[in-house]
Amino acid sequence: MLFDEIHYRNDKNLLNFDNGNIILRNAVRAVIINGNKILMAHLEKTDEYKFPGGGRNENETIEDAIKREVLEEVGYNVISIKEKIGTITEYAIAQEGGNNIFKMISDYYLADIENKQLKQNLEEYEKELLFKPCWIEIKNAYKINNDKIIKKYKMTSGINRETIALRYLCEKYR
């Protein structure tokens, strides 16, 4: 595996937290590379880059989740899923309130797609963020995301996770 990281969205002391429940979400993310470019969802509203992917539904296989998420978010059919290249586990204070902790485990898989782009099928929040499929050089996606984190300017909660993965890909695909 290329990476296995833990990220704390709010506070590193979250793991010392023992009064609430952990709300677990398993997610998959597709890493689709062609040369030195990578297929990402460009969130035009916040000008950041996200891997196509998201949470797995109950009883959904990894393969089915990747295929569904890639088609929904960037409009391509996945034709093959290769090896898992990394995992990022995130901890955050749960939005549901109370003393709950949100834990999301995102597994990243190399994948290949058909050349023909189809129509996206975005969820409402994805429409609001203006998700657009984009082939971009890996180092440029990393730089744009990383600059946003440094400047702390208008970004989604997932930008740190995606930027960690992009950093490893920059090192591997120079």
Burial environment of residue 76 by CB neighbours within 10 A (0 to 12, 13 to 18, 19 or more): buried
Cα angle 31, 51, 141; round to 5: 95
Set out the domains of the chain in order of their start, with CATH numbers.
Answer: 3-172 (3.90.79.10)
* DSSP per-residue codes, 91-143: EEE-TT-TT-EEEEEEEEEEEEE-SS-------HHHHHTTEEEEEEEHHHHHH
pTM: 0.92
Q: What is the pLDDT of residues 125-134, one digit of tens each?
A: 999 999 999 9
Q: What is the pLDDT of residues 39-86, one digit of tens each?
A: 999 999 999 999 999 999 999 999 999 999 999 999 999 999 999 999
Give the Å distances, CA to CA, from 171 to 90, 138, 165, 167: 22, 10, 10, 7
Q: What is the pLDDT of residues 87-118, one digit of tens each?
A: 999 988 887 666 788 899 999 999 999 999 99
